[in-house]
Amino acid sequence: MLRTGIVIDTRYQDHYTGRNHPERPGRIGALLSLVENYQRPGTKRFDPRLATPEEIALIHDPAHIGRVAATAEKDYFAFDADTPVSNQSYATALLATGGLLTVLEAIMTREVDNGFALVRPPGHHAERNRAMGFCLFNSAAIGAQFLREQFGLKRILVMDWDLHHGNGTQHSFYDDPGVLYVSTHQYPYYPGTGAAEEVGRGQGEGQTVNLPIPAGWGDTEYQELFQGVIEPVCRQFNPEFVLISAGFDAHTRDPLGGLEVTEEGFGIMARILLRVARDHAQGRCAAILEGGYDLDGLQKSVVHVLDEMGGETLTQALPQIEPRGLLPRVKAVQRQYWELPKE
């Protein structure tokens, strides 16, 4: 049995986005009640620490950090139409990134084997110098950089299965061979980036892997792509740590997306990534919550991922699927850089 660290905190509800915003405090409320009732032995709850401004600056410009910090003096501010903030948003964003760093420290010091930071606001759209798409600071990107600077790791995998493309994370490491960024995302869709041909540049060419997915696809299509493209690419990269930007807005009941992944599907994706972590990264795997706006779908999906993190299902066979040869253009692009199984 594996030990799993969980970070969640009532203070993640303090970032107020206004009435009717999908990225709302109640998401954390739903997950707090889930965690209080989640009984699997081997789980350990951690209180998050605040990230320091220096840690935020691992990815973001000081001017951007200053602009977000300045919103603490305002009753209300909006970075764009999607990204309103309140006077507690800066502190909550520091706690969100700090929540992931808390999980990473617990894994690296072997207090736990893996972990899940259940935090908000999300982060993967945040660019070096810009808040956007509900995101203020890019916690996953900061976490990847933190693992390299603080613990000397050389190869970090960031798998982003949120419905949306993680433009901010992609751009943070676009010419950097030390981070493999892999994203599945509905396409074309917000934020517009994430075409198959976006593969990185310079030293990082080939280390960005985009799988743009049409509306309507679900568990079997995802499993085929994970087994046929994502798993072989990740194993060849040989990561020392597996970070998951875990959004659940690809869930079939999510109000923002057009994809049809179920909670069981997210569990299968987690199992495949946990196997990669087991075989290449000493089991080290951390997930951070990104999107996911149907509260019931969010809760059930998080339970499936936490169950997989317990390790007892790792050796169970995956569901039998009939491969359909999906995304041949993506595979043709990726074959320039990686060995993929023949079809």
Distance, CA of 343 to CA of 205 (rounded, Å)? 25
Q: Contacts with Zn ion in 14-33 (CB under 5 A)?
A: none
Cα dist. 206→148, 177, 240 in Å?
20, 8, 18
> Using CB under 5 A, which of 136, 163, 246, 289 touches Zn ion?
163
CB-nearer residue toward Zn ion: 113 or 249? 249
Find, among 149, 135, 173, the residue nearest to 55 by Cα: 149
Is 291 an interacting residue with respect to Zn ion (CB under 5 A)?
Answer: yes
Distance, CA of 73 to CA of 286 (rounded, Å)? 33
Q: Contacts with Zn ion in 69-108 (CB under 5 A)?
A: none
CB-nearer residue toward Zn ion: 124 or 271? 124
Q: Identify which range of 41-49, 94-102, 240-248, 313-321 contacts Zn ion by CB under 5 A.
A: 240-248
Q: What is the nearest approach in angstroms of Zn ion to the Cβ of residue 177?
A: 27
> Using CB under 5 A, which of 15, 164, 165, 300 touches Zn ion?
164
Is 247 an interacting residue with respect to Zn ion (CB under 5 A)?
Answer: yes
Residues annotated as catalytic are 125
Distance, CA of 123 to CA of 139 (rounded, Å)? 5
Distance, CA of 97 to CA of 138 (rounded, Å)? 8
Q: What is the nearest approach in angstroms of Zn ion to the Cβ of residue 248?
A: 9
Is 240 an interacting residue with respect to Zn ion (CB under 5 A)?
Answer: no
Q: What is the nearest approach in angstroms of Zn ion to the Cβ of residue 20?
A: 17
CB-nearer residue toward Zn ion: 171 or 278? 171
Q: What is the nearest approach in angstroms of Zn ion to the Cβ of residue 158?
A: 15
Find, among 136, 107, 40, 55, the residue nearest to 243 by Cα: 107
Run of H or E including 6: strand 4-7
CB-nearer residue toward Zn ion: 9 or 254? 254
CB-nearer residue toward Zn ion: 113 or 162? 162
Contact 163, 259 (CB under 8 A): yes
Is 132 an interacting residue with respect to Zn ion (CB under 5 A)?
Answer: no
Q: What is the nearest approach in angstroms of Zn ion to the Cβ of residue 190?
A: 8
Find, among 184, 161, 178, 180, the residue nearest to 170 by Cα: 180
Cα dist. 39→44, 102, 182, 307, 337 in Å?
10, 21, 32, 10, 43
Beta-carbon contacts of residue 125 (< 8 Å; ≥ 6 apart):
132, 133, 134, 135, 138, 164, 166, 167, 168, 191
CB-nearer residue toward Zn ion: 27 or 164? 164
Q: What is the nearest approach in angstroms of Zn ion to the Cβ of residue 287?
A: 14
Beta-carbon contacts of residue 97 (< 8 Å; ≥ 6 apart):
51, 55, 56, 123, 137, 139, 142, 143
Is 162 an interacting residue with respect to Zn ion (CB under 5 A)?
Answer: yes
Q: How many residues bind Zn ion (CB under 5 A)?
A: 6
Q: Identify which range of 145-153, 164-172, 196-204, 329-337 contacts Zn ion by CB under 5 A.
A: 164-172
Mark residues 208-237: x for contact with Zn ion by CB under 5 A, - for none. ------------------------------
Cα dist. 266→5, 115, 137, 224, 273 in Å?
19, 16, 25, 13, 11
Position with the least CB separation from Zn ion: 291
Place of tokens 């179920």: 262
Site for Zn ion, rule CB under 5 A: 162-164, 247, 249, 291
